[in-house]
């Protein structure tokens, strides 16, 4: 059997790294900005943020020329098609045979019913993406045109929304459209659709078309968890900020702002209320939502909704000595629990290291950060969210490199680490002695 997992991992990393390097080179050229190009560290940060569809910025998007904004748009689109699209492209290219190990990897990462026809997979992903973005842009265009924006701005905002990127060519971003129901509604729909994952969108379409009787277990978990997080988050923000950041707004505006904050915290990065105005408790809720993120196979980041759901099941339902975990008449396999735990632990370690780096680096430069601020920026970078309290442009080069690493690890690194080793482990004919550990 031809096993090429190691090569596949390298191809995945090289693709995203190459795209970031090309983007950073273009941003450093004079044509990209109105003041003649960026410093390379800022160009690298912007390119990484775009490819990893994060939205954290050290340079105002409005300071880019139209050509620079076009480069940014292309990077967002190529990155926003998702790791699933690009890993599928490299794993299942027509010129290569599909190994049993590779087939198992893709099925394991998505769902068992995944189809292994490269052209159909890529065509469906591109079609879904183009349809959502085009429809979203056309709906928003009349509103934006009345405010002096072009069709390009409408397309840019639609692409950034569906790809959960958070970049904007709108003056003051979505804050200037805080009370506009249409802009808020369309933006949230695009964010949620992009964050559900292509497998779930396809499953929903087949269910609506009555091509199948019920949604898959994966899709039902994604939809239930996503809806619960959005609603609970919105309720918390409404209560916590009612007399604080939302004071002076009518009840309807407060409800819409709360819902938008809950949706955007799950890896989108837009905001209608500056994050620095939120109370510490609301910022903590935002951090939790950013860490959880979107769903597998989507344009969003984070540890993913399914991982959060599985860890919640383990915490609430697992009984010592039970041996198995059952949910909705389905047995959760042990290896799924191990993988979910590994993702969470790796994510926590990444956030801890990046947070420590920010605190140490900024202290050394005479600009000490508060622990809440450092954690917020670190989780936002890791979860490829893009929400910021406003400190990113003023960070030192070391801190920017730390956030660049967090964005890359959150977008590409976790998936790359999940790919099995290239060598097959010998079949085990005997078990090693059990290790008893007190917990």
Does 128 reside within a domain?
Answer: yes
pLDDT at 336: 82
Residue keyed to tokens 């590409």 = 412
Chain-centre distance for alpha carbon 398 = 23
Does 118 reside within a domain?
Answer: yes
Q: Is the pLDDT of residue 196 over 80?
A: yes
Does 59 reside within a domain?
Answer: yes
Total number of domains in the chain: 1
Average pLDDT, rounded, for the chain: 84
Q: Convert the pLDDT of each residue in 159-170 to its tens digit.
A: 999 998 889 999
Q: Convert the pLDDT of each residue in 110-119 to its tens digit.
A: 444 444 565 6
Q: Is the pLDDT of residue 301 over 80?
A: yes
Does 433 reside within a domain?
Answer: no
State what percent of residues in the chain have pLDDT above 70.
82
Does 427 reside within a domain?
Answer: no
Tell me the whole-structure pTM to 2 decimals: 0.87
Q: Convert the pLDDT of each residue in 135-191 to its tens digit.
A: 999 999 999 999 999 999 999 999 999 998 889 999 888 998 999 999 999 999 999
pLDDT at 416: 65
Residue 353's alpha-carbon distances to 31, 126, 382, 407, 410, in angstroms, are 36, 36, 11, 13, 13
Does 319 reside within a domain?
Answer: yes
State what percent of residues in the chain have pLDDT above 90.
51
Cβ–Cβ contacts within 10 Å for residue 23, how many? 25
pLDDT at 99: 47
Does 430 reside within a domain?
Answer: no
Q: Residue 10: which domain range?
A: 5-418
Q: What is the mean pLDDT of residues 412-429?
A: 58
pLDDT category of residue 100 using cuts at 50, 70 and 90: very low
Q: What is the mean pLDDT of residues 206-223?
A: 88
Where does 265-333 have alpha helices with state H? 280-292, 305-317
Does 432 reside within a domain?
Answer: no
Residue 56 tokens, joined = 């954290």
């Amino acid at each position: 059997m031809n096993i090429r997992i190691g090569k596949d991992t390298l191809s995945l990393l090289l693709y995203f790294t190459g795209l970031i390097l090309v983007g950073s080179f273009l941003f450093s050229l004079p044509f990209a900005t109105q003041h003649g190009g960026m410093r390379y560290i800022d160009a690298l940060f912007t390119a990484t943020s775009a490819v990893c569809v994060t939205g954290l910025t050290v340079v105002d998007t409005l300071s880019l020329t139209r050509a620079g904004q076009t480069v940014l748009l292309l990077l967002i689109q190529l990155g926003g098609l998702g790791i699933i699209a690009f890993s599928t492209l490299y794993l299942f290219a027509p010129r290569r045979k599909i190994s049993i190990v590779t087939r198992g990897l893709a099925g394991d990462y998505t769902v068992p019913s995944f189809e292994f026809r490269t052209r159909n997979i890529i065509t469906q992903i591109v079609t879904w993406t183009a349809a959502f973005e085009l429809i979203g842009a056309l709906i928003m265009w009349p509103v934006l045109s009345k405010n002096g924006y072009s069709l390009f701005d409408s397309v840019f905002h639609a692409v950034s929304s569906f790809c959960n990127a958070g970049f904007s060519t709108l003056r003051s971003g979505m804050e200037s459209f805080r009370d506009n129901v249409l802009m808020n509604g369309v933006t949230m729909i695009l964010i949620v659709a992009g964050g559900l994952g292509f497998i779930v969108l396809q499953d929903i379409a087949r269910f609506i078309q009555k091509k199948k009787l019920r949604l898959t277990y994966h899709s039902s978990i994604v939809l239930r968890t996503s809806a619960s997080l959005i609603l609970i988050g919105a309720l918390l923000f409404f209560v916590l900020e009612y007399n604080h950041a939302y004071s002076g707004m009518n009840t309807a505006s407060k409800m819409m702002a709360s819902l938008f904050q809950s949706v955007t915290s799950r890896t989108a990065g837009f905001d209608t209320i500056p994050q620095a105005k939120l109370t510490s408790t609301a910022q903590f809720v935002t951090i939790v939502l950013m860490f959880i993120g979107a769903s597998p196979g989507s344009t969003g980041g984070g540890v993913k909704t399914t991982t959060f759901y599985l860890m919640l099941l383990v915490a609430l339902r697992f009984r010592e000595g039970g041996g198995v975990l059952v949910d909705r008449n389905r047995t959760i396999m042990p290896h799924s629990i191990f993988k979910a735990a590994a993702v969470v632990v790796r994510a926590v370690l990444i956030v801890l290291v990046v947070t420590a780096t920010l605190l140490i680096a900024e202290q050394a430069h005479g600009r000490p950060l508060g622990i809440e601020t450092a954690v917020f920026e670190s989780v936002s970078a890791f979860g490829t969210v893009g929400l910021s309290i406003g400190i990113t442009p003023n960070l030192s080069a070391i801190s920017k490199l730390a956030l660049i690493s967090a964005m890359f690890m959150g977008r590409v690194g976790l998936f790359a680490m999940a790919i099995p080793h290239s060598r097959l482990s010998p079949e085990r004919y005997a078990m090693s002695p059990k290790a008893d550990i007190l917990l």
